[in-house]
Structure 1
Amino acid sequence: MHWIDVSIMAAYMIGITIIGVLSRGKGEDAEDYFVAGGSQHSWFESVLVGLSIAATFFSGISFIAYPSVVYSNGVLLPVWGVLVCLPIQYTILRYWFLPRYLAGGWAFPYQVIESRFGPAARTFAAGLYVLMRIGWMAAMIYAPTLAIITMGRLDQRWFWPIVLITGLSNTLYTVVSGVRGVIVTEALHIPVIAFGVAATIISAWWQMPVPVGEALADVARQGRFDVLNFSIDPTSPLTVWTVLLGVSLGNLANYIGDPMSLQRYLMIGDARVAARSFAVNIIGVVIVVSLLSTVGLSMFAFYSHTADPTLPSKPDQVFPHFVATRLPPGVAGLLLAALLAATGIPSGINALASVLTIDFHTRFLPSTTPTQALWWGRVYSLLLGALATVTAGFLSKLGTIFEMSQVILGVFAGPLLTCVAVAVAGWRCTGPAMIAGMLTGWATGVAVSLSGAAPSWAAPSSSLATLASALIFTHLAPRATRSSRFEACVPPNESVATDPLGPAS
Structure 2
Amino acid sequence: MALTLAAFGTADWLVLGAYFALLIATGVWLARLPKGDQDYFLAGRRMPAWAVSVSVLATSLSAATFIGAPQQAYEGNLTYLSATIGTLLAAIIVAGVFLPAFYRHGVTTVYGLLEKRFGPGAKLAGSWTFVVGRVFASGARVYIAAHALSFIVFGDLRTEHLLIAIAALTFAGILYTIAGGIETVIWTDVVQTVVFLGAVLGVIVHLGAEAGAPPAEAVASLAEAGKFKVLDFSLDPARPYTLWTALVGITLLNTAALGADQDLAQRLLTCRSAMRAAWSVISSQLLGLGVVCLFMTIGLLLWLRNAHDTATPQGGEKAFLAYMTGALPTGLAGVVMAGLFAAGLGSIDSALNAMSSAFVSDCYRPARPGRSERHYLRVARAGVAVSGVLLGGFACVCVFWQRGAGQTLLDFALQVMVFAYAGLVAVFLCALLTRRGTTASAIGALAAGFAITVALEPAIWERATGLDTIAFPWRMTVASTVAFMIAAAPRGRASSRA
- Would you say the 8 A contact 2:263–2:354 is kept in 1? yes
- The Cα of 1:240 is off from its aligned counterpart by 2.3
Is the aligned partner of 1:3 residue 2:8? Answer: yes
- DSSP-derived class of the 1:28 partner: coil
After TM superposition, the structure 1 = structure 2 runs for residues 105-120 of structure 1, keeping only pairs within 5 Å, are: 105-120=106-121
Greater CA drift, 442-451 or 48-57: 442-451
- The Cα of 1:30 is off from its aligned counterpart by 0.6
After TM superposition, the structure 1 = structure 2 runs for residues 65-76 of structure 1, keeping only pairs within 5 Å, are: 65-76=68-79
- Would you say the 8 A contact 1:24–1:179 is kept in 2? no
- Of 133, 141, 161 in structure 2, the residue corresponding to residue 158 of structure 1 is 161
- Would you say the 8 A contact 1:406–1:458 is kept in 2? no
- The Cα of 1:249 is off from its aligned counterpart by 2.1
- DSSP-derived class of the 1:229 partner: coil
Normalized against structure 1, the TM-score is what? 0.88
After TM superposition, the structure 1 = structure 2 runs for residues 32-43 of structure 1, keeping only pairs within 5 Å, are: 32-40=39-47
Equivalents in 1 of 2:476, 2:88: separation in Å? Answer: 19
Equivalents in 2 of 1:471, 1:104: separation in Å? Answer: 22
Is the aligned partner of 1:484 residue 2:494? Answer: yes
Equivalents in 1 of 2:189, 2:427: separation in Å? Answer: 28
- The Cα of 1:105 is off from its aligned counterpart by 2.0
- The Cα of 1:364 is off from its aligned counterpart by 1.8
Is the aligned partner of 1:437 residue 2:445? Answer: yes
After TM superposition, the structure 1 = structure 2 runs for residues 280-291 of structure 1, keeping only pairs within 5 Å, are: 280-291=283-294
- Of 195, 206, 211 in structure 1, the residue corresponding to residue 209 of structure 2 is 206
Q: Alpha carbon RMSD of aligned pairs, Å?
A: 2.0
Q: Structure 1: which 5+ runs fail to align? A: 476-481, 490-505
Show CA shifts across 1:350-391 (max 9, x none). 000011111111112224332211110100101111222232
After TM superposition, the structure 1 = structure 2 runs for residues 401-440 of structure 1, keeping only pairs within 5 Å, are: 401-440=409-448
Question: Corresponding residue for 1:454?
Answer: 471
Equivalents in 2 of 1:297, 1:262: separation in Å? Answer: 33
Equivalents in 2 of 1:387, 1:88: separation in Å? Answer: 32
- Would you say the 8 A contact 2:30–2:180 is kept in 1? yes
Equivalents in 2 of 1:318, 1:470: separation in Å? Answer: 46
After TM superposition, the structure 1 = structure 2 runs for residues 25-174 of structure 1, keeping only pairs within 5 Å, are: 25-40=32-47, 45-78=48-81, 80-82=82-84, 84-152=85-153, 154-155=155-156, 156=158, 158-174=161-177
Greater CA drift, 418-427 or 171-180: 418-427
Question: Corresponding residue for 1:178?
Answer: 181
Q: Partner amino acid for 2:494?
A: S
Question: Corresponding residue for 1:335?
Answer: 336
- DSSP-derived class of the 2:417 partner: helix
Q: Partner amino acid for 2:430?
A: V
Q: Structure 2: which 5+ runs fail to align? A: 462-468
- The Cα of 1:256 is off from its aligned counterpart by 0.7
- Would you say the 8 A contact 1:428–1:471 is kept in 2? yes
Identity among equivalent pairs (%): 26
- The Cα of 1:394 is off from its aligned counterpart by 2.1
Equivalents in 1 of 2:477, 2:83: separation in Å? Answer: 15
Greater CA drift, 440-449 or 237-246: 237-246
- Would you say the 8 A contact 1:76–1:226 is kept in 2? yes
Question: Corresponding residue for 1:376?
Answer: 379
Question: Corresponding residue for 1:254?
Answer: 257
- DSSP-derived class of the 1:267 partner: coil
Equivalents in 1 of 2:420, 2:8: separation in Å? Answer: 43
- The Cα of 1:308 is off from its aligned counterpart by 4.6
- Would you say the 8 A contact 1:406–1:456 is kept in 2? no
- Would you say the 8 A contact 2:121–2:439 is kept in 1? yes
Is the aligned partner of 1:320 residue 2:337? Answer: no
- DSSP-derived class of the 2:493 partner: coil
- The Cα of 1:345 is off from its aligned counterpart by 0.6
- The Cα of 1:460 is off from its aligned counterpart by 2.0
Show CA shifts across 1:75-121 (max 9, x none). 1121x233x33442343233333223312222332110111111111
- The Cα of 1:262 is off from its aligned counterpart by 2.4
Equivalents in 2 of 1:314, 1:72: separation in Å? Answer: 7
Q: Partner amino acid for 1:217?
A: A
Do the aligned partners of residues 10 and 130 (structure 1) sit closer, same or farther apart at CA in structure 2, a change above 3 Å counting? same
After TM superposition, the structure 1 = structure 2 runs for residues 486-501 of structure 1, keeping only pairs within 5 Å, are: 486=496, 488-489=497-498
Do the aligned partners of residues 308 and 196 (structure 1) sit closer, same or farther apart at CA in structure 2, a change above 3 Å counting? farther
The number of residues matched between the two structures is 473
Do the aligned partners of residues 378 and 434 (structure 1) sit closer, same or farther apart at CA in structure 2, a change above 3 Å counting? same
